Amino acid sequence: MDFSVSKEQAMLLQSLQDMGKREKFKELAADIDRTGEFPHFLINKYADMGLLGMSLSPEYGGMGESSLTAVLAIEALAGYSPMIAAPVFESNVGPVRVIDMFGTGEQKQRIIPGVCKGEYSVSVCMTEPEAGSDLTSLSTTLTEKNGRYVLNGQKAFITGGGIASHYLVYTRFGEQKGYKGIGAVIVEKGAPGFRFGKQEEFMGLRGMPSCDLFFDDVVVPEENIVIRKGDFGNLMLTFDIERCGNAAMCLGIASGAFETAKAYAAERKAFDRPICEFQDVQFKIADMAMKIDAARLLVYRAANGAGKGLPSIYEASMGKCFANEMVKEVTDMAMQILGGYGYSKEFPVERMLRDSRAWGVAGGTLQMLRITMAGMVFGRRFDQRK
Ligand SMILES: Cc1cc2nc3c(=O)[nH]c(=O)nc-3n(C[C@H](O)[C@H](O)[C@H](O)COP(=O)(O)OP(=O)(O)OC[C@H]3O[C@@H](n4cnc5c(N)ncnc54)[C@H](O)[C@@H]3O)c2cc1C
CATH number (domain holding residue 150): 2.40.110.10
In this predicted structure, the answer to whether residue 3 has a pLDDT above a threshold of 90 is no
In this structure, which amino acid lies at residue 123?
S
Give me the count of residues in the chain: 386
Query: Contact, 199 vs 162, CB < 8 A?
Result: yes
| Nearest residue to 89 via CA among 228, 233, 296, 252 | 252
Distance 127 CA to ligand 1 centre (A): 8
C-beta of 324 in contact with ligand 1 (< 6 A)? no
Q: Indicate the pLDDT class of residue 147, thresholds 50, 70 and 90.
A: confident
Is 35 a domain residue? yes
| Mean pLDDT in residue range 290-318 | 96
Clarify whether residues 176 and 100 are in a common domain: no
Give the residue whose CA is nearest to atom 42 of ligand 1. Answer: 367
Structure confidence at residue 2 (pLDDT):
86
Distance CA 144, CA 157 (A): 27
> Last residue of a domain, which of 176, 211, 230?
230
**Structural domain range at position 156:** 122-230
Query: Contact, 185 vs 111, CB < 8 A?
Result: no
C-beta of 376 in contact with ligand 1 (< 6 A)? no
Give tens-digit pLDDT for 225-281.
Answer: 999 998 998 888 899 999 999 999 999 999 999 999 999 999 999 999 999 999 999
Distance CA 158, CA 212 (A): 6
Clarify whether residues 63 and 177 are in a common domain: no
Distance CA 292, CA 95 (A): 27
Distance 133 CA to ligand 1 centre (A): 5
Clarify whether residues 130 and 100 are in a common domain: no
Distance CA 13, CA 319 (A): 21
Give the residue whose CA is nearest to atom 23 of ligand 1. Answer: 132
Query: Contact, 57 vs 97, CB < 8 A?
Result: no
Is 19 a domain residue? yes
Structure confidence at residue 145 (pLDDT):
85
- Between 132 and 2, the higher pLDDT residue: 132
Q: How many domains is the chain built from?
A: 3
H helical segments located in the chain:
7-22, 25-35, 42-48, 67-78, 82-93, 96-102, 105-117, 232-267, 279-306, 313-337, 339-342, 349-356, 366-378
Pocket test of ligand 1: the residue of 133, 140, 158, 324 to mutate, having most ligand atoms within 8 Å of its CB, is 133
In this predicted structure, the answer to whether residue 28 has a pLDDT above a threshold of 90 is yes
> Last residue of a domain, which of 73, 98, 117?
117
Give tens-digit pLDDT for 31-82.
Answer: 999 999 999 999 999 999 999 999 999 999 999 999 999 999 999 999 999 9
C-beta of 163 in contact with ligand 1 (< 6 A)? no
C-beta of 159 in contact with ligand 1 (< 6 A)? yes
* Contacts (Cβ under 8 Å, ≥6 apart) of 229: 172, 173, 174, 176, 180, 181, 182, 183
Query: Contact, 172 vs 181, CB < 8 A?
Result: yes
In this predicted structure, the answer to whether residue 1 has a pLDDT above a threshold of 90 is no
Structure confidence at residue 258 (pLDDT):
98
Clarify whether residues 301 and 324 are in a common domain: yes
Is 289 a domain residue? yes
Clarify whether residues 248 and 354 are in a common domain: yes
Structure confidence at residue 106 (pLDDT):
98
Clarify whether residues 270 and 137 are in a common domain: no
Is 2 a domain residue? no
Clarify whether residues 289 and 329 are in a common domain: yes
Is 324 a domain residue? yes
Structure confidence at residue 14 (pLDDT):
98
Is 1 a domain residue? no
Phi, psi of 69 (to 5 degrees): -60, -40
Give tens-digit pLDDT for 112-128.
Answer: 999 999 999 999 999 99
Clarify whether residues 245 and 369 are in a common domain: yes
In this predicted structure, the answer to whether residue 134 has a pLDDT above a threshold of 90 is yes
Distance CA 49, CA 60 (A): 17
DSSP string, 184-213: EEEEETT-TTEEEEEEP--SS-TT--EEEE
What value does the mean pLDDT of the chain take? Answer: 97
In this predicted structure, the answer to whether residue 337 has a pLDDT above a threshold of 90 is yes
Query: Pseudo-torsion of CA 90, 94, 98, 104, nearest 10°?
Result: -10
Lowest mean pLDDT across 8-17, 105-114, 138-147, 323-332: 138-147
Distance CA 81, CA 377 (A): 35
| Nearest residue to 246 via CA among 357, 160, 139 | 357
Clarify whether residues 169 and 148 are in a common domain: yes
Is 386 a domain residue? no
C-beta of 367 in contact with ligand 1 (< 6 A)? yes
Is 383 a domain residue? no
Clarify whether residues 180 and 254 are in a common domain: no
Residue 297 CB coordination number (10 Å): 14
CATH of residue 363: 1.20.140.10
Clarify whether residues 213 and 260 are in a common domain: no
Give the residue whose CA is nearest to atom 43 of ligand 1. Answer: 367
CATH of residue 25: 1.10.540.10
Clarify whether residues 238 and 367 are in a common domain: yes
C-beta of 362 in contact with ligand 1 (< 6 A)? yes
Give the residue whose CA is nearest to atom 50 of ligand 1. Answer: 362
| Mean pLDDT in residue range 168-185 | 95
Distance 362 CA to ligand 1 centre (A): 6
Give the residue whose CA is nearest to atom 29 of ligand 1. Answer: 133
On whether the pTM is more than 0.85, the answer is yes
Structure confidence at residue 129 (pLDDT):
98
Distance 363 CA to ligand 1 centre (A): 8
C-beta of 126 in contact with ligand 1 (< 6 A)? yes
> Last residue of a domain, which of 207, 230, 253?
230
Distance 271 CA to ligand 1 centre (A): 46
